[in-house]
Structure formats: C-alpha cells, structure tokens
Amino acid sequence: MPDDFPADLDWGQQLLQGALYAERRARRFGLRITGAEAKAVAGQALEQIIAAGWDRTLYAEFADCVESRVRGIIINRSRKKATRQEVPAEPAHPSPTDPSPSPEQVAADRQLANRATTLMLERLDGNADATAVFMEMAQGNDRPADIAAETRLAIGKVYRARERISDLSAEIAAALTKELAP
Amino acid sequence: MTKQSRTDEALWMAVQDLDRELLDPGVPTDVIDAAARSIGLDPHAVRAEGRALAAAAFERKRRGWMTAAREKIALLREKAKATTKYAEMGKQMLLEELERWRQHPAIGGEVRAAFRNRKPEESSEDDLRALLEEIERVAAMHEADAEKGGGGDGG
C-alpha cells in the first residue's frame, strides 16, 4: 500500500509551503485567493494524500505529490469559478500535450516568449538583485546556490529575487492573455 | 561552470517553473516565513495547524480501516451462523444446496472440481454438511476479498 510516509516528514511545513504554492498557482490561473483560502487548498491536498497514500511510482519526491494535488484543486476551482475568458492560459507555455505544433504556432510562441521576457526586464528595472538573478537564469543557471555564487548575493536574496520574478511572470502572463484576447 | 544562453522560450518556461520552488524543502525558513506573512499567514500557527491536520487525517484513516475490518468480521460471523441450517437438512436438500453452489459465479468452479472424480450422491450426509459449511466459508472470504479489491488505494 503506497502510504509509507517518512517519519520525519514535517506536515506543518508541508501545509505552509503548500499554501504558498497554492496562492501562487491560483494567481497564475487568474484567481485571487486569500492566504486562508490557500491554506485550505493545501490542507485539502494533504488530506487527500494521507487518505490515498503517497505512490512513489508516480511521484518520486513528496513535493511532486503536493504539487499535483494542489494544482488539481486549483484547476477545478478555476473551472468552477471563472468563465472561460477569465481563465488565462499560460501564454508562453506551449501545450505539452500538443505533439507537433504548427509552424505558425511555433512562431507565435517564440514571439510571445520574446515579448514576455522583454516585459520582465522592463518591470525588473530598479531591482538590481532580481535583474542579476534573471540574467543568470537567461544564461541557463537555475540552481539558487550557483546563482548566489555567480552574483555574490546571499542565498536568501536569491530566493527573494526569484520570488519577485515569479510574481511578475504571473502578472505578465495575465497581461499578455488580456492583450491577446479577441 | 559552463554558461549557455537560453532562448526566450526556454527562459520563460524556467521562469514559470519557479512556482514549484515554493515546495522545495531547501528554501530557507526565513524566505518561506516572509512569503507567508506577505499573504497574511502566521507561519508558526500554520505549521502547528498542519501537524494537527495530519494527525487528524491519519486517525480518520486508521478508524476507516478498523470500521472496514469490523464489518468484514461481522459478515464472516453472519455467514458462519448460516451454516447451522445444514444440520436440519436431509440428503436431498443438501444435494440441492450443493447444486446451487456449483452454479455460483465466483466459487462454482472450485465446487465442481471437488466432485470431478466422484458423484455428490456418493457422499454421506455428514460429509455433505461439512463440505457445504466449508463452501460457505470460502464464499464469505471471496466476498470479503472482492470488497477489499473494490475499495481502491488511489495515489
């Protein structure tokens, strides 16, 4: 039975980080939820995981399991709450289920990604830490510890900068979707 | 470290994947706590709540398992009680009961196999009664297993 949770798994920390992820994820779907609502979503996800067990054949990391459950709950909420027009797709995210996008779609995705990254740089203007971190990411450097070493920023600052970048990406995604709406 | 410039698409996808970082166990506590406060959550209270929530969920799961086990035991006892009826049956009725079990969708095959090399009529009444009681127990176990299999574990 797939429910052998590690004894040292901190369910309190899981609820807290799950709530943060839920809030961010909801924002990406154009939903504004409060911290308390995000906590409720994370709580529901953890209860589902405990009831069903952690299937390691599907989710190697426990965080993957939480991510999947939270994302599922948020998607269901967004479908129930919002009309189709209000639910933004993730603009520069080509659909992973689309096996072979048309050349037009490839070009459109490229153009959209270019616009999104340009907007990001504009919005980061004045935030030296976040700009430096974004430039490192543009070079293919994704690990916070490596970014900290390259930029000589404290690791906490790197995480905060990445949080800012993530926040802005949700805003930009929403803005671009609105811009593209017929 | 070798650096390689990313395309805008790859960069944008990496940026969108940053959400996932919030679930990373390696994120420093002060970063998580600050993010929690920014959405109006008290990190210490939420941690305590999470531990209580998990304890309650595990308890519900444990009780659910115990309830299911109790129901299965009750079912087996009920079936065991039913076997007392064979004591009052004559041979013809016992053979009719046996015939009924031979047609049973789940265990009919096993019953038929038991009489592959002899005719039921050749068995004594006591043998038939013992056999029918055994068949009832096997059927009850099949039923309990089928319920267990139908419960599903999910993931």
Helix or strand run (H / E) with residue A144: helix A144-151
Average pLDDT along chain B: 82
Q: Amino acid letter at A117?
A: T
Which residues in chain B have their CB less than 8 angstroms from residue A36's CB? 40-41
CB A70 within 8 A of CB A25: yes
Q: What is the pLDDT of residue B80?
A: 67
How far apart are alpha carbons A121 and A131 in whole angstroms?
7
Distance from CA of B59 to the nearest CA of A (A): 10
Question: If DSSP codes are grouped into helix, strand and coil, which group holds residue A40?
Answer: helix
Number of CB pairs < 8 Å for A and B? Answer: 185
CB B154 within 8 A of CB B112: no
Range with top average pLDDT, B3-7, B50-54, B56-60, B150-154? B50-54
Q: What is the pLDDT of residue A94?
A: 46
Q: By mean pLDDT, which of A38-42, A174-178, B3-7, B131-135 is the weakest?
A: B3-7
| pLDDT of B47 higher than 80 | yes
DSSP B39: T
Which whole number is the average pLDDT over B25-41? 92
Of A38, A43, A159, the CB nearest to B27: A159
| Among the listed residues A151, A170, A141, A163, the one whose alpha carbon sits nearest the alpha carbon of residue A27 | A170
CB A134 within 8 A of CB A121: yes
Q: By mean pLDDT, which of A98-107, B107-116, B137-146 is the weakest?
A: A98-107
Q: How confident is the model at residue B154 (pLDDT cuts 50, 70, 90)?
A: very low
Angle separating helix axes A155-180 and A128-138, nearest 10 degrees: 80
Contact yes or no for A35 and B22 at CB 8 A: no
Of B8, B46, B50, the CB nearest to A113: B8
CA within 13 Å, CB half, A69: 31
Q: What is the pLDDT of residue B83?
A: 62
| Per-residue pLDDT tens over the stretch B84-103 | 678 788 888 899 888 888 88
Contact yes or no for A50 and B61 at CB 8 A: yes
Distance from CA of B71 to the nearest CA of A (A): 19
Q: At CA B12, angle to CA A67 and CA A124, rounded to 5?
A: 105
Q: What is the pLDDT of residue A144?
A: 92
Distance from CA of B24 to the nearest CA of A (A): 7
Q: Which chain A residue shows the shortest CA-CA distance from B17? A: A166
Count of CB atoms within 10 A of residue B147's CB? 13
Q: What are the respective helix, strand and coil percentages of chain A, to the nearest 5? A: 70, 0, 30
Which residues in chain B have their CB less than 8 angstroms from residue A37's CB? none
Q: List A residues 42-81 in contact with B (Cβ-Cβ < 8 A).
A: 43, 46-47, 50-55, 57-59, 63, 66-67
Contact yes or no for B50 and A150 at CB 8 A: no
Distance from CA of B79 to the nearest CA of A (A): 28
Q: What is the pLDDT of residue A173?
A: 85
A25 touches chain B (CB under 8 A): yes
CB A139 within 8 A of CB B3: yes
Contact yes or no for B13 and A92 at CB 8 A: yes
Q: What is the pLDDT of residue A2?
A: 46
| pLDDT of B152 higher than 60 | no
More confident residue, A30 or B28: B28
> B77 to each of B20, B82, B84, B132, B136, how far by Cα in Å?
52, 9, 12, 16, 11
Q: Which chain B residue shows the shortest CA-CA distance from A107? A: B9
CA within 13 Å, CB half, B26: 9
Q: Which of A117, A159, A164, A168 to mutate to test the interface with B (most CBs of B within 10 A)?
A: A159
Reading chain A (182 residues) residue by residue, the pLDDT tens digits are 445 798 889 999 999 999 999 998 888 887 889 999 999 999 999 999 999 999 888 999 999 999 999 999 998 887 776 554 444 444 445 444 555 677 777 788 888 889 999 999 999 988 999 999 999 999 999 999 999 999 999 998 999 899 899 989 988 988 887 777 76
CB B132 within 8 A of CB B88: no
Which whole number is the average pLDDT over B124-147? 80
Q: What is the pLDDT of residue B153?
A: 38
Contact yes or no for A169 and B18 at CB 8 A: yes
A24 touches chain B (CB under 8 A): yes
Of A67, A93, A142, the CB nearest to B16: A93
B123 token code pair: 């068995």
Count of CB atoms within 10 A of residue A9's CB? 12
pTM over 0.95? The answer is: no
Which residues in chain A have their CB less than 8 angstroms from residue B47's CB? 10, 12-13, 15-16
How far apart are alpha carbons A171 and A179 in whole angstroms?
12
Q: At CA B68, angle to CA B63 and CA B74, rounded to 5?
A: 125
